[in-house]
Structure formats: structure tokens, C-alpha cells
Chains A and B, each alone.
Chain A
């Protein structure tokens, strides 16, 4: 069973560091080795990028999608489904959760996609540099009104969220620090936007206006000086609270669900030692996210955290589409497909507010649960899809299947998924009603295909399947 354990562990890694993987990919990765796979994942540049030109041939409007869904979503979904750099996309999604910026105000998917691109390119590097880039990102500047932050009239929106939501967390700074940080970012703005219509499809550009910058002395987190924005970030990243905050976010997203972020100043981490390990790496590596992720994925607390994380709608949709296959090309209906996460409560590129999405259990309500189960069931119940066919073919190769073999085979190939004894009993009881299945004759083969599809649907409807 050692090999089976390796498969299960690799499946866990790929669910968390990516969006899952089919069995043939898992086998190839097990052959390559766990640590080698982690190295490949944290070095996405070793893998080819997504071929955007294919997307644009079919959906030219996905290049500069404007403010209307679903073209921005189409562009994003195409990347998520096709990426050969799963961790690069997962990390970009992680920062999208943390640095939550939404189309509700930005009203411009071009800019939001550019921000996602920033997360792809810089998300696994130096966190300090990422924050500086974020502070210069026109989408963010507009989202948090820093273009309205003037030397003579301070707007605290960006300054506050930088500290509260992007780096330190509530309780690690004073109102005065917010004020002083905001002063330091006066003059950080972007070129005047050209009206979008009819000709204004130009990207926004960062601009520093020295004449609008408050160059006076500031007192920030115990430091004193004529600070500019970058100085503030330099002070922020040195705070012990910063390492903890970022690592707790990484733990919550990649390892196991924690309480919602606003509770972090009151509730301590569920695994303080794990957070200590990550924060030590964060500091020693000078805020290198890649180094932290290497430690994280190779740690035993990660390996032991299987199914401790409620799948986000993005994980549900993208994971399913990658599993069943056939959705690599932007075929008709891709627009609605790309909106599926929003039907389950996660409108990508449009989080409800700068606080981002509430995750874990809060993904689930009566509407979203039915939406997610039915979406996945409809896919896995369709034997014409290549990934479903691959599952059937692997089961078929085993010959005649007893009810237990059918259930265990399906659980295995969908994950492996771990279910409770009660759940397994229900699945087996259902399979018993069908008796043995086999593919030895054409008629029985058709029935067998159908039974596998039905069993897969029943499995994705379980509570256990909602976790990754």
C-alpha cells in the first residue's frame, strides 16, 4: 500500500498547490518524487506559460474585456483551466484573496487582469517587493482611493488597508500609524485615465507626483523620518506581526481552514508551531514566499492536513474542469462556464469588498451547496468527457467489479477521496442494488459506464467531497 499512500499524498499536494490532477499525472509525479515535484511547482518558469493566443482567436474580446462580465472571467478561467504552472495560478489566486480588488468599483477587467498578472509574476518572490509593486499598481491605487490621497488632504483608505488587511492585521498599529503611513503615500497616483469609450482602451500607469507628496517628518511604528511610501513598507515587513500575518494567511489558504481574518487578533492559530516554522523561514529568507512555500509543502503539518480545507468555488469549478477535461478550448458556453464560481458565491475578479471572501464553512449555504454539487455531478456523470472516460477505462481494466470494488475504485480515482464509514456504507449499499458490473459484453458495458457515472455523481454529492 505504500505506493497508494504516495498517490494519496501527491493528490493532496496537487489539490492544494494547484487544482488537482488526473491519475496519470499523479503517477508521473510520484515517479518523479514528492520533493522534486514541490521544486517544480515553486519554479513555474520551468513550465510553458498558457497560450493566450488561442483564447484570443476565439474570444478577441477577452484581451481587453472592459467592465462587463463575463469576458474578464473568461480570460481568467482559461488561464486557470489550462495552466501548466498550477502553483503560479494558485498563488495568484491566494493574493487575489488577500489583496482583494473588485470590479464593483474598478469597473475595468483589463486592469484587474493586469493585477492578477502581477501576482503571477511576483507572487512567489520577495513579499517586500510585492508590496511595493502593489502600492504602485494603478488598479489598487484606484480601488483604495490613493489617487485621492493628497499632500494637502490625506485619504487614509490605502494606508489603513495596507496595515490592516495586507500586512499586519488589527491591533499591531495605532490610528496615528495609519495617518502617518497615509501621509507617506501622498503623491502615489496614476496618470489621468483616458475615458474608456470610444478610444480609451489604454492601461493605467503609475505616476509619482512629488508636488503632491507630503515630504514632512513622520512618526511610524516607533521610527521617525521624512518617510516616503517605500520606507513605510520597509518598516512594515520588519515587524514580527507582519511575518505572522502573512504566514497565517498562507496556512489558512494552503494548509487548513482558520477562523475568518477579523478574528485573528483574538483567536490564536490552531497550530502555533506550524506558524512559528513558517514565520522563521519568512524572516530568514528576507520575505521570500517561495522559501516559505517550500518549507510549507514539505512539512508534516501540511502532509497531515488532508481534507482540512473547504474547497472554494474556484477550486470546485477549476478542479472539476481539469479532472474531466474537454474544457481546454474556449468553446461556446465558456462565458457561462466562467461565471460558475460566482453562482457558488465566489465572483472572481469581484470580491465583495477589500476584506475578500469569507472562506471555509462560509462558502456554504443552501443555494451554493446545491450549485456546487450539481455542477460537479453533471460533469462527472458525462462519460463522453475524456477525464471521465479515463476513470471508466481504468476501472474496466480491472475486469468484473463487485459493489465494494466499484465504490473503492471510484473513490480512489476521484482523489483518492476519504469518506467516513457511514458514507461508504451508503455508497456500497447503492452499488449492491446494481450487483456486479462488467464490461465483457456490449450491453453490460453500456450499463457499467452508466453505473460508474452514477456512482461518481453520488460521491461528489457527499459532504466529504466538499473538502480538499
Chain B
């Protein structure tokens, strides 16, 4: 791979299910917080204050450390107007940047097409999750989708015997060889060979990888370790995507929400430590987002679907701090009981696109949005 080792890399961690804003960045000195959270509030004695107004959930201690180092940006009140409060639709909006109509192309798929229009590297985008995230989907853009352990990634994982496997994959390649004639067979051929090539390239990542960092035994930590392996192998991947959830805490939010956040925070802690030990952290930016925040007032054991939520950006090049305003908790400012979004999510995307990934943001997010200052 010809890629320069220090090309900027984006890692997206999607918090699926709707992460609760109020118990993530806790306005612990605001009496309205206590009023609204009789059942699922976090007691004062447990919160992790980051300043005089706000505190993190106790499960986010490793992220508090990043905050203290000045490398964590909190993006307040993210969302968009007329939040639909549906998981699927909301996630689609974040993925396609189309709040008003149904979009078909994912924003990061567009970035990949921009980076590699001739598909010279079939693993420009690597996704760790059960299926192709819509954010990555653009027709003709190859995405390596790793559903299980990286070691087993590829076609026909159940054919395990080494010799036979090599032969079978070799036959697969020949069976997918270009054909003259039918367009659809040709297309299937290209797609099959792209995926096969991707699997072939990715396979070296775990082999090249050696680390003393111990990751926690959680699904998100395993995904992040997979990302670290591919990133450290220097295969030219620029966009990584993974998810964790479900943050859909309608009931049993305490302790469920904490368990979710410890997995994310501890996983990220190991991940960043791993990259730093290998001197490969400075070109990585991590974005955390969720499709929406949750209802301000709890429902007795959890919280229902809401609107505005927080997003986070972290990395060695990030200027830590608060960006945007925490939406007002006053009853008269709520929209159907939810925090009113104060920052369009496409502002975050635009900033990352322009200042980090160095691509023009307008064709990807649709129009110009305010650039935020969390990157130089």
C-alpha cells in the first residue's frame, strides 16, 4: 500500500439506540436536573465533575482523563430541527445528511469515493458491525464489513483447514473472473473480487499486530482492537466505523446506561493507549454520536426517545472543551418534553471534513455549515 502513514484517519463510534444526554454530561448543579430525574438521576456523590456546571457519568472515568488532558471536545445540543424520535429515521438522517427527504448515499461513503475514485484500495473504509452502515453506503464504493473476529474475516469462514481454504478462495477468485457480456455478472464479479481482495489485505493485520495493551472483554473493545490492528498495519484505511448499544434505555437505565458507557470508555482508553504505544495516535480522530438524546423527565425507570444529544470528538489533535450550548432544561424551552437541538450535526461533519479529512464539505453534507473550533 502506497498510503502515507500519517494520513488523517477517522474512527466513528456509533452509540446506537439514543444515548441519554442528561446522564452523560450531567448538569449537576442545575435544580431542574434533580426535578426531572427522580428515578434515574445520578447522585451528587457519584458524578465526575469536569467543571462547576457539568459532570460526567461515573462510568466515564477514562473519558474524564481525556478531558483533563484537553483532548476531548463536547459538542452540545446536537441534532436537527423536527427530530422524528424514531431510531431508524433518525439514524438515517445522521448517516445520509438528509433531514427532510430519504437519502440514499452515506456521508462517509462519499468521502471514500472522493479519496479513492478508482478503487485502488478496497479497504479505504473498514466497518466493524453486523451489516453495512448506511453512512458508508454509496453504490460502487467497496467497504470491508467485518462482522466477527478479524482473524476470521472473509468469504466462507466455515472452511477452516488452511490448505483447503487457500484453494477454495483461489477458485472463488477464478469463478468471479471478469466475463464478457452480461452487465450483472460483470458487476457481481467486480464486487466479489473487491471483497475478496479486501479480505486478503486485511488478513495480514492481526498477524502484524503485537501489543502489550489489554483490552476489556466487551464487544466494543474487540471492535476497537480490530480497528487498531488494521490501522497499525498501515494498509491505507482512512475511515473506520463501529457501533455499540443498545442505548435505548426506556427501562432499567440505572445501571444499564453505566454498563454501556464503561464498555465504551474503557474500550476507547485501551484503544488510544494502544495507538500511542505504537506512535500511531496523532493522526486519529474519534467521533462518538448517537441518533438522538432522551426525554428530559424520566419515566420511573428509564427515559423515552428525545431530541438533542451530545456528541464527542477526541484525539491528540483535538482542542478539548465545550462547544455550543447545553440546551435549556426550562419547561418552556423544551420541545415535546425534549431538549431543543442547538447545533446542527452537519456542523460537526463539516468541521471534520474540512479541517481533518481535508475534503470539501459542501458536496458531502449538502450546504455550508458553521465550522467549529475543536480542530485547528
Please choose the segment from A181-189, A284-292, A359-367 that sits at the chain B interface, where 4 or more of its residues have CB less than 8 A away: A359-367
Chain A residues with CB under 8 Å of B158's CB are 374, 377-378, 381, 457
Is A169 an interface residue when CB atoms closer than 8 A count as contact?
Answer: no
The complex places the Cα of A343 from the Cα of B146 at a distance, in Å, of: 12
Given the complex, which residues of B lie within 8 Å of A352, measured CB to CB?
Answer: 92, 102, 104
**A429 vs B191: C-alpha distance in the bound complex, in angstroms?**
24
With contacts A105-B89, A366-B143, A374-B156 known, is A426 near B191, CB below 8 A?
A: no
Query: Which of A344, A366, A423, A457 has most chain B Cβ within 10 Å?
Result: A366
For A423, list chain B residues within 8 Å (CB).
175
Interface check A4, CB cutoff 8 A: no
Cβ-defined contact, B143 with A365, below 8 A? yes
Q: How far is the CB of B179 from chain A (nearest CB, A)?
A: 8
B92 nearest in chain A by CB position: A104
CB interface residues, A 410-468, toward B, < 8 Å: 420, 422-423, 426-427, 429-430, 433, 454, 457-458, 461-463, 466
Residue on B nearest A103 in the bound complex, by CB: B88
- The answer, yes or no, to whether A174 is at the interface (CB within 8 Å) is no
- Asked if B132 contacts A367 (CB within 8 A), the reply is yes
- Residue from B145, B147, B159, B192 in contact with A463 in the complex, judged by beta carbons closer than 8 Å: B192
Looking at B56-64, B163-171, B259-267, B329-337, the stretch in contact with chain A turns out to be B163-171
CB of B293 within 8 A of chain A? no
**Whole-angstrom distance from the CB of B157 to the nearest CB of chain A?**
6
Decide yes or no whether A373 CB sits under 8 A from chain B: yes
Is the CB of B201 closer than 8 A to any CB of chain A?
Answer: no
Q: Does B86 interact with chain A (Cβ within 8 Å)?
A: yes
A439 to B187, CA, bound (A): 40
Contacting pair A366 B191 (CB below 8 A): yes
- Does B176 lie at the interface of the complex (its beta carbon under 8 Å from any beta carbon of A)? yes
Within 8 Å by CB of A68, from B92, B102, B176, B248, lies B248
Residue contact B89 to A104, C-beta cutoff 8 Å: yes
Sorting the interface of chain A by its residue count into under 10, 10 to 19, 20 to 34 or 35 or more gives: 35 or more
Given contacts A373-B155, A430-B168, contact A104 B86 (CB under 8 A): yes
A132 at the B interface (CB under 8 A): no
Q: Counting CB contacts under 8 A, is A342 at the interface? A: yes
Assess whether B187 is in contact with A364, with CB atoms less than 8 Å apart. yes
**Is B168 touching A458 in the complex (CB atoms < 8 A)?**
yes
- What 0/1 pattern do residues 366 to 384 of A give for CB contact below 8 A with B? 1111110110011001000
Residue B342 CB within 8 A of the other chain: no
* B194 in contact (CB, < 8 A): yes
- If A377-B158, A426-B171, A461-B172 touch, whether A364 touches B188 (CB-CB below 8 Å) is yes
Which residues from B are CB-within-8-Å of A339?
Answer: 130
B194 contacts across to A, CB distance below 8 A: 366
Name which residue of chain A comes closest to B142, CB basis.
A366
Please determine whether B131 and A367 come into contact, CB atoms closer than 8 angstroms. Answer: yes
Question: Which residues of B sit under 8 angstroms from A345, Cβ to Cβ?
Answer: 131-132
Q: How far is the CA of A378 from the CA of B155 in the complex (A)?
A: 10
| A353 interface residue (CB < 8 Å to B) | yes
**Nearest chain B residue, comparing its CB with the CB of A102:** B88
Q: State whether the Cβ of A310 lies closer than 8 Å to any Cβ in chain B.
A: yes
Bound together, the chains give a CA A310 to CA B92 distance in angstroms of 26
- Chain B CB count within 10 A is highest, among A350, A369, A427, A463, for A463
Q: Tell me the residues in window 159-200 of chain A with beta carbons closer than 8 Å to chain B beta carbons.
A: 197
The CA-CA distance from A344 to B131 in the complex, in Å, is 7
Known A-B contacts A361-B184, A426-B175, A463-B185; the reply to A369 vs B164 at CB < 8 A is: no
Q: Which 6 A-B pairs have the closest CB atoms?
A: A367-B132, A104-B88, A367-B145, A353-B102, A343-B131, A366-B195
Given contacts A257-B184, A310-B184, A369-B195, 6 further A-B contacts (CB under 8 A): A361-B188, A365-B143, A366-B144, A426-B174, A458-B168, A461-B155
In the assembled complex, 17 residue pairs joining A and B whose CB atoms fall closer than 8 Å, in A order, are: A197-B299, A343-B131, A365-B132, A365-B143, A366-B143, A367-B144, A367-B145, A370-B155, A370-B195, A373-B155, A374-B155, A374-B156, A377-B159, A381-B159, A426-B174, A454-B168, A457-B158
